[in-house]
Chain A
């Protein structure tokens, strides 16, 4: 039985898979930019969870280092992303992504 801190590794995998799927579905189904944004964060965190779990399981710190990187990148991304959202709201008075369908050709 593969365990991490007494909890079976399978549970970590299932949990992060569930989180990731929720994130993907959220991105695909929701039109509200903020929620899409949050769903992206959810996916990132699902991956983080998995990385941490496996790092612990293999006793290899590389995975944990990755998590830090991801968190840093995610933070930066949030900064930029929210700035875009603010601008978008200022210009279109909406944060519905359907409004942005002029982003073509």
Chain B
């Protein structure tokens, strides 16, 4: 039996090796070999993660922590950052999601990218991403978290701009990287403050020190700074606008990075530091508020979007908001649970959307789709399952996790509950709108396109089917006690959140309240589906074409509340102006002018002085005599 340290070290190492192999021989290996290396390395990682998971389960509940030190990375004075991995229930769950969903998406990509000439490059980036993502969740200290954090940002940048000839895609890539960098600054300053105040950046010692010391102002500052990082990575207000644009990348990327894994890094980070947040209620409230607003805000935008991927992108932003709501009310394991189910169904939805796009030869506008049920039957069914899951129809995965969030929100306050409920109902509406417009009704595609529509190859449909199954059964790991389950995921994660749970007073809802809440959700969901059906299928409403007049509110939503334009005029343009002022006014006509003036004044001064050198010898001698007399005279005076 191989020891578990080696296995743990191999989990992130394999994708890295895959990346190195593919990228070093990018032009020399065939497409199939590259995809094989990439997919294989992630598969092996997944299997290893499963082994580790089983081992962890085998341990007693309070000993489920394995730490593996690889080497000392940076050490200066009392600062030391190790490359070391921490496996506990939280990270092992993340490992399973990342490698599992990652593997499926790799398989899917083989089919999706087989026509792209640069598919080798694509797979190398994907592997690099998996490596950094694993580093992010496995790292045993804050700096490794940051390394993974920036690393996935880089991969996201590379993959959004994968088709680099398209200018708009590269803009989207830059936007994503820069917005993330803003968050990253918050994160790194937070990490530095942690080091300064706790003398260490290892989770184990910091978390322990924090639970001993209790809350403080500096802790609030630290947690807010860390959350700024999460705002960037997990696309929360105000740093969310990069995510919809990030859909420029190939669809598997959207599924893997911008739905299932990378964007949930913020959730992971907050959950990892749950004790810090529990002890600083201000930050926790901030998370709650930001999460709520984002969830609602993004959901309303999603109502009017016509690009199949954009709808899903806003839906992701909104769902992430919901996860933050869960974290904000102190229900950390609920947040993680929703993250897990979301990873399944959102990856499924994106990949299914990819399958639609693939079948439609790159068409993404749902106004040009419709009636695809006949043409893409498998895709339709899996997409339908995904929609049911995200809408929270029992017994699909989303039902359990979303219901848990709503229940916890209700415990916290009815207002939060109300808003969260509204969000989830909006979700139901826009998802069914998407479903109906895409797969039902008349086929609106041109004859030319219709002729070519084809179901995707097996390498794409099989991952879809697997994900569809997961979207169905994924929630069963967290069936609430009310429904006769035992909430296994919650119990499994409990050790990570113990110290927080001690502090957060739990007042469980009564059985009846919980059941009433559940039925309210389900009934209103079903009603809304009916409404959506009547609008988009029975009445066959199709969103209007561009430049047609819409109601003011609709226009506002369609243009995403003009947030991009707002940022452009409030931040980007002023910054450019300031830079220009710096350059033209301060640099050129300020500092440099002064320097030059100093030099020039000496030159012009000597121009004046040289007039004395008239060339008249008599004058020279006269000056000399005067000089001598002055010297003698002053010499006399000095004495």
Which A residues form the contact surface with B (CB < 8 A)?
24, 27-28, 31, 97-98, 100-105
Least Cβ–Cβ distance between B145 and chain A, in angstroms: 70
B231-273, CB < 8 A from A: none
Least Cβ–Cβ distance between A7 and chain B, in angstroms: 27
Q: How many angstroms from the CA of A28 to the CA of B610 in the assembled complex? A: 21
The closest CB in chain A to the CB of B614 belongs to: A104
Q: How many angstroms from the CA of A97 to the CA of B614 in the assembled complex? A: 13
A24-B625, A28-B625 as given contacts; A105 in contact with B610, CB under 8 Å: yes
B117-162, CB < 8 A from A: none
Which listed segment binds A: B457-465, B473-481, B585-593, B616-624?
B616-624
Q: Are A31 and B618 neighbours in the complex by a CB distance under 8 Å? A: yes
Least Cβ–Cβ distance between B68 and chain A, in angstroms: 79
Least Cβ–Cβ distance between B606 and chain A, in angstroms: 10
Q: How many angstroms from the CA of A103 to the CA of B614 in the assembled complex? A: 8
Q: Are B617 and A97 neighbours in the complex by a CB distance under 8 Å? A: yes
Q: Does B605 contact A (CB under 8 A)?
A: no
Q: How many angstroms from the CA of A105 to the CA of B614 in the assembled complex? A: 8
A-chain residues with CB within 8 Å of residue B615 when the two chains form the complex: 100-104
Least Cβ–Cβ distance between B426 and chain A, in angstroms: 85
Q: Are B621 and A28 neighbours in the complex by a CB distance under 8 Å? A: yes
Least Cβ–Cβ distance between A21 and chain B, in angstroms: 11
B-chain residues with CB within 8 Å of residue A104 when the two chains form the complex: 610, 613-615
B594-639, CB < 8 A from A: 610, 613-618, 621-622, 625
Q: How many angstroms from the CA of A97 to the CA of B616 in the assembled complex? A: 8
Q: How many angstroms from the CA of A25 to the CA of B135 in the assembled complex? A: 95
A-chain residues with CB within 8 Å of residue B622 when the two chains form the complex: 28
Q: Are A98 and B613 neighbours in the complex by a CB distance under 8 Å? A: no
A24-B625, A28-B625 as given contacts; A97 in contact with B618, CB under 8 Å: yes
A-chain residues with CB within 8 Å of residue B614 when the two chains form the complex: 101, 104
Q: Are B610 and A103 neighbours in the complex by a CB distance under 8 Å? A: no
The closest CB in chain B to the CB of A97 belongs to: B617
Q: Are B617 and A103 neighbours in the complex by a CB distance under 8 Å? A: yes
A-chain residues with CB within 8 Å of residue B613 when the two chains form the complex: 104-105
Q: Are B616 and A98 neighbours in the complex by a CB distance under 8 Å? A: yes
Q: How many angstroms from the CA of A98 to the CA of B610 in the assembled complex? A: 18
Least Cβ–Cβ distance between B616 and chain A, in angstroms: 5
The closest CB in chain B to the CB of A27 belongs to: B621
B-chain residues with CB within 8 Å of residue A101 when the two chains form the complex: 614-617
Q: How many angstroms from the CA of A34 to the CA of B621 in the assembled complex? A: 15
The closest CB in chain B to the CB of A29 belongs to: B618
Can you name 13 extra interface pairs (CB under 8 A) apart from A104-B610, A104-B614, A105-B613? A28-B621, A28-B625, A31-B618, A97-B618, A98-B616, A98-B618, A100-B615, A101-B614, A101-B615, A101-B616, A101-B617, A104-B615, A105-B610
The closest CB in chain B to the CB of A31 belongs to: B618
Least Cβ–Cβ distance between B105 and chain A, in angstroms: 80
Can you report 9 A-B residue pairs in the complex whose CB atoms are below 8 A from each other? Answer: A24-B625, A28-B622, A101-B614, A101-B615, A101-B617, A103-B615, A103-B617, A104-B610, A104-B614
B-chain residues with CB within 8 Å of residue A28 when the two chains form the complex: 618, 621-622, 625
Interface bin, chain B: 10 to 19
A-chain residues with CB within 8 Å of residue B618 when the two chains form the complex: 28, 31, 97-98
Least Cβ–Cβ distance between B577 and chain A, in angstroms: 48
Q: Which of B615, B622, B625 has the most CB of A within 10 A?
A: B615
Least Cβ–Cβ distance between B266 and chain A, in angstroms: 73
Q: Are B625 and A100 neighbours in the complex by a CB distance under 8 Å? A: no
A-chain residues with CB within 8 Å of residue B610 when the two chains form the complex: 104-105
What 0/1 pattern do residues 352 to 365 of B give for CB contact below 8 A with A?
00000000000000
B-chain residues with CB within 8 Å of residue A31 when the two chains form the complex: 618
Q: How many angstroms from the CA of A100 to the CA of B618 in the assembled complex? A: 10
For B617, give its contact among A24, A100, A105 (CB under 8 Å). A100
B-chain residues with CB within 8 Å of residue A27 when the two chains form the complex: 621
Least Cβ–Cβ distance between A44 and chain B, in angstroms: 15
B-chain residues with CB within 8 Å of residue A98 when the two chains form the complex: 616, 618
Q: How many angstroms from the CA of A31 to the CA of B617 in the assembled complex? A: 9
A-chain residues with CB within 8 Å of residue B617 when the two chains form the complex: 97, 100-101, 103
The closest CB in chain A to the CB of B617 belongs to: A97
The closest CB in chain A to the CB of B622 belongs to: A28
Q: Which of B610, B613, B621 has the most CB of A within 10 A?
A: B621
Q: How many angstroms from the CA of A31 to the CA of B613 in the assembled complex? A: 18
Q: List the 5 closest A-B pairs by CB distance, nearest first.
A: A104-B615, A101-B615, A97-B617, A104-B613, A103-B615
B-chain residues with CB within 8 Å of residue A24 when the two chains form the complex: 625
Q: How many angstroms from the CA of A105 to the CA of B616 in the assembled complex? A: 12
Q: How many angstroms from the CA of A26 to the CA of B617 in the assembled complex? A: 13
Least Cβ–Cβ distance between A34 and chain B, in angstroms: 14
The closest CB in chain A to the CB of B610 belongs to: A105
B-chain residues with CB within 8 Å of residue A103 when the two chains form the complex: 615, 617
Least Cβ–Cβ distance between A91 and chain B, in angstroms: 15
The closest CB in chain B to the CB of A105 belongs to: B610
A-chain residues with CB within 8 Å of residue B616 when the two chains form the complex: 98, 101
A-chain residues with CB within 8 Å of residue B625 when the two chains form the complex: 24, 28
The closest CB in chain A to the CB of B613 belongs to: A104
Q: How many angstroms from the CA of A80 to the CA of B58 in the assembled complex? A: 110
Q: How many angstroms from the CA of A31 to the CA of B614 in the assembled complex? A: 16
Least Cβ–Cβ distance between B624 and chain A, in angstroms: 9
Q: How many angstroms from the CA of A72 to the CA of B560 in the assembled complex? A: 101
Q: How many angstroms from the CA of A11 to the CA of B130 in the assembled complex? A: 110
The closest CB in chain A to the CB of B620 belongs to: A103
Least Cβ–Cβ distance between B262 and chain A, in angstroms: 72
The closest CB in chain B to the CB of A100 belongs to: B617
B-chain residues with CB within 8 Å of residue A100 when the two chains form the complex: 615, 617
Least Cβ–Cβ distance between B627 and chain A, in angstroms: 13
Q: How many angstroms from the CA of A102 to the CA of B616 in the assembled complex? A: 8
Q: How many angstroms from the CA of A102 to the CA of B615 in the assembled complex? A: 6
Q: How many angstroms from the CA of A24 to the CA of B618 in the assembled complex? A: 11
Q: How many angstroms from the CA of A27 to the CA of B617 in the assembled complex? A: 10
Least Cβ–Cβ distance between B328 and chain A, in angstroms: 80
Q: How many angstroms from the CA of A105 to the CA of B606 in the assembled complex? A: 11
Least Cβ–Cβ distance between B118 and chain A, in angstroms: 68
A-chain residues with CB within 8 Å of residue B621 when the two chains form the complex: 27-28
B-chain residues with CB within 8 Å of residue A97 when the two chains form the complex: 617-618
Q: How many angstroms from the CA of A100 to the CA of B616 in the assembled complex? A: 7
The closest CB in chain A to the CB of B607 belongs to: A105
B-chain residues with CB within 8 Å of residue A102 when the two chains form the complex: 615
